[in-house]
Structure formats: C-alpha cells, structure tokens
Structure 1
C-alpha cells in the first residue's frame, strides 16, 4: 500500500513545486514595488520644510519624471533584447541618443541658446519625438527586414551612425558662443529634476498605451524569444510582431529622451538586474521588475543625493557612470554577443 502512496505523492509534490516556482517571480516583483513605493514616498514626504503643498508642487513633477523614465527605459530595453535576441544591446547604444544631441545642437547653432527655452512645450516635445521615431523606424525596419539583415550589421550600422551624429554635434558645438554652449550642455544631460509639468500628462498617456499594447502581446513576446523559425512554426506572424515591437521601442525611447534627456546605460542596468532577480524570461514579470528597480534607483538616489549628501549634482550622471561600468563587466564576462 505504501508504494502507490509514494507514486501518487510525486505528481502532487511536483505540481506544488511548479506552482511555487511560478509564484516566486511575482512575490519578488511585489517586494520590489514595495521598496519602490517606500523610496518614492521618502522622496516626496521626507524632510519637508514649510507647507506640504508647496513642497509637493516642487517634488511631484520629479516623481512623475521618475515613473516615466523608469517605465519607458525598462520596457524599451526589454523589448529591444527580445527583438535582437541579445541582452547586451540597448536602443541608446545604437545611436538613438546621438540623434537627440544632434537635433539640440542644430537648433542652438541656427537660432541661439535661447531657442531651447522659447520653444519649450508640447509642440517641441512632439517634434523631437517624431524625428527620433522616424529615424528609428527607418533604421531598424531596414536592417531587420533586409536580405543581409543580422545582429552584426545592426550593431555596426548603429555604431557608425551614432559616431557620425556625435562628430557632427561636436563640430557644431565648437562654433557656438560660450553662453549658447552652456545652455546646450544643460540640455544634453539626463535631468529628472528639471521637467516641464505640462509634458507629463502626454507622457503618461504614451506610457499607458504602450504598456497596454505590450501587456496584450506578452505571450507573443515570450514566443519571439524562441527565434524566428520556432515562432513561425507556432503560428506567430514574426515580421508583424517585430514591427510592432520596433514601433513601441521607438516611441518609448523618443519620449524618454525628449522628456528627461539621454540615458544610455540606465535601461541596460535595470533590465539586467530584472533578469537576475526574477529568474524567468517572461515579460509579464521582467518588465514590472525592471520598472520597480528603475524607480528605486532614481527615487532612492535622488533622496540620498539631496538629503544625505547635500549634493546638487546630476543623479543621472552618476547612474550612467555606474551603468557604464556594469556594461563593461557584463561584456567582458561574456564570450560572445
């Protein structure tokens, strides 16, 4: 009688372990969001001097920028990893930020440094985002759908275009008046504490639409990780889904860059940590985890920078420096791309 009992217990035990393993990533995601909520709450309400409503009026736009930057960078980077089947590359490394720098530099060269303040508003944000979306769609669509399209061609073309844009920007910067150059330099750094509150509603709408679109395709995105042949064999329209993913990446990165400035390695860091902490490839768990880690890094870092170290430096500069080091470590530890 004991043998049947042992035999019957094994499936139950395996099923229980499988259910626990499936639930574990979500528990980690919930824990990460708990920490993210504490970090964001500490930034908003800790060390308030004077009226609370006045302090919140200054801190809420930064909190909104933190949420937008964390979500857009997390989703765009994870989607880009899925499309390229590579966890080293990011949209920023492929020359996306270089285009933003070139656009800003050309504007200042033609119209002077005050154009950056005179043209602030929704039309300027939409124009910058539209230019970067158009560039990304032309570049990525051509590379992924061409006859000789492959990862190495994408990498080489993206790096070359990025270098060309940076070289043109550097040349134009040398022609600027020192005052114009100073005004331009401020715009070329990531800036979560200097965000126009008028831009946030539109940014939240873009994030909501992109998030819903990605969530409805979460299982299809999981299938894309299996490769083109496997996806086609299952019945997924590989080319269409790749195009949709590229459009989402272009829109997310363009709005993130136009709103808070270039963030080259931020998305790479939070996505890489999300893969490690969730222990799964499923987008339904990886993207929320990466977003929570982004909020923790930005909100917690801003809190420490302002209230512990009393520093007025750019938080994103520190994050990019640490992110660059992490990128080099991951790159050197891997034998191939």
Structure 2
C-alpha cells in the first residue's frame, strides 16, 4: 500500500510538472521550456526544503503542530528586508543584485540560528526535552521582537518604500531568479544527503530521548545536526522565495494521514513529493485558470493556518 501511494505521488508530480511546462505554451519552445523549467526547479527546491525541514522539526520536538517558523526565521527575514529598504531606500533596494540579497539573507539567518542554538543548547549536558522547549520559547520571543521592530521601521519610511518593504517580505513563486538555482540546489542537496544518512537515527529519536539514548543514539549530537540542517533548509527556501509559515505544517500532516508510518525513509520522500505536487499544481491552477488573481502564498497560508486550527481543536499533536 505504501509503495503504491508513493508511486501515485511520483506520477502526480510528473503530471503536474508536464502541465506546468506545456499548458497554454506559445511561441518559441526553447524559451518557454527554459523559462518555465527554471520556475519549476525553483518551486520544487522550495517544496522539498520546507517539507523536509518541517518533518525534521516535528520529529525533534515530538509535536506535529509545530513548524520551524516558530523559531522566528520568517520574522527575521522580514526584518532584514525592512532594514535594507529603510537604509537604502526603495530605489537603492531595488538596485541590489539577486545574489547579494540571497546571500545576505541566508548568511544572517544561519548565523542567528547557530548563535541561538549554541547559546541555549551549549549549556546542556545531554540535550534534554526541556532545552528544546526553552529553544522554542526563545525563538517565539525573538519572532515577536523582530516583527515589532519591522513594524516600527515601516512606520518611519516613505509610503512608497513601505510598499517595497511589504512586497519583498512576502513569498513569491513567480519571480524566482534563475541565477540562484545552482547554489540553492547544491545547498539543499547537501542538507538532504546529511538527512538521508540520519534516517534510521531519526526513527529512533522519534521514540523520545530516553529510548534513543538507550538504543545507542548520540542524542545531543543528533539534535545539533538536525537543528543545523533545519536552519539551512529554511534559510535557503526563505532567501529564495520568501517566508511561507504554515505550508510545512499542511504538507507534513497530509503526509502523516496518507502514509501512517514512522519510518523517515518513507516520510521524507513522501512529504517532499506531496509538497511539490501542492505547490506546482496550485501554481498551474492560479496561472492557467485564475489568471494569477491571487498569490499562491496567500492560499497556502490560509490552508496551512486552517490545518493548524483544526489540529489544535482536535488536540492531535502526536
């Protein structure tokens, strides 16, 4: 049954990809395939990064209603964009190269996350669950602080610059820069290889700290490794398209319902495929049926937030 469902997801991904590349395609096919192909690759990379990061985060926290956005990554990204607009102005910000914006966002988010992890978990002797909870609470507090500071700066800037800052802080799947895809692919591939090598340890860690330690897993080292991978995946995806807070929650819980297993060798590829199907299929519908009347990120956030509320009300966090 699991193999058939994985094969179905793979077929759906192929179907949506072909539809994305060919539906209503006119003119020079070389240009069309290159233009749509770069967007397809970018969307696929973001989908895989968000799905894997969310599954890892939920395994680490033993809670299926939490996402890496609780660590304040999206708020930090929005603050960074606002600070750049505040400092350079809307015109100066628009003159920044895509590479400069990408690497500055990625570097700042990675440094901030490593400092946070090192300061809060470095004092821990064995990486207990209480340390993870303290890390989550600290991330939430920093997220509120970043959002408040962003709001303060946005009140000080020119209204035209405010529009630039607000737009840059929103996720966009229509303007993925092709020049960033190679470096993004390499970063995400490295994180995925490291995650795949940990897949059996992840199965054990899902049982809890005590069970993992008793079964021979170096728990604290694995916690550090998982947090670094999560930070890298979220940083790359956020720097590439912008923050998507609840999308990972949506696809991870759909994956748990579709494939009721605790084996990460199945959950990780299934969540990645499902995530790509949702984003690519949604983009096809928005472009070809709804004529881009609303951004895909708005619909994704709405569905993800609705999923979050349903899970909270049902009390199903495990």
Q: Give the TM-score taking structure 1 as reference length.
A: 0.89
Alpha-carbon separation, structure 2, partners of 1:111 and 1:102? 14
Are 1:190 and 2:171 counterparts?
yes
Alpha-carbon separation, structure 2, partners of 1:168 and 1:83? 30
1:128 to 98, 101, 105: 105
Deviations 1:281-335 (CA, angstroms, capped at 9, x unpaired): 1111111111111111111111111111223421111111111111111111107
Residue matched to 1:4: none
Alpha-carbon separation, structure 1, partners of 2:171 and 2:4? 32
Alpha-carbon separation, structure 2, partners of 1:286 and 1:335? 18
Alpha-carbon separation, structure 1, partners of 2:305 and 2:317? 18
Residue matched to 1:274: 255
Correspondences of 1:87-236 after superposition (within 5 Å): 87-146=64-123, 149-236=130-217
RMSD: 1.7
Alpha-carbon separation, structure 2, partners of 1:151 and 1:228? 11
Deviations 1:131-183 (CA, angstroms, capped at 9, x unpaired): 10121222234444545834543333222211110000001001111221112
Moved more, 255-264 or 124-133: 124-133
Contact between 1:88 and 1:268, CA under 8 Å: does it hold in 2? yes
Moved more, 196-205 or 54-63: 54-63
- Unpaired runs of 5+ residues, structure 1, are 1-23
Are 1:316 and 2:293 counterparts?
no
Alpha-carbon separation, structure 1, partners of 2:317 and 2:33? 48
- Unpaired runs of 5+ residues, structure 2, are none
Are 1:64 and 2:41 counterparts?
yes
Residue matched to 1:54: 31
Alpha-carbon separation, structure 1, partners of 2:139 and 2:180? 29
Moved more, 290-299 or 165-174: 290-299
Residue matched to 1:253: 234
Structure 1 residues 221 and 336, CA gap change in structure 2 (3 angstroms): closer
Are 1:303 and 2:280 counterparts?
no
Q: Give the TM-score taking structure 2 as reference length.
A: 0.94
Alpha-carbon separation, structure 2, partners of 1:115 and 1:265? 31
Structure 1 residues 87 and 336, CA gap change in structure 2 (3 angstroms): closer
Alpha-carbon separation, structure 1, partners of 2:78 and 2:43? 21
Structure 1 residues 83 and 275, CA gap change in structure 2 (3 angstroms): same
Residue matched to 1:18: none
Deviation at 1:272, TM superposition (A): 0.8
Alpha-carbon separation, structure 2, partners of 1:31 and 1:333? 29
Moved more, 258-267 or 306-315: 306-315
Contact between 2:105 and 2:235, CA under 8 Å: does it hold in 1? yes
Alpha-carbon separation, structure 1, partners of 2:137 and 2:218? 27
2:20 to 19, 28, 43: 43
The secondary structure found in structure 1 opposite 2:234 is: helix
Aligned length: 314
Alpha-carbon separation, structure 2, partners of 1:117 and 1:224? 45
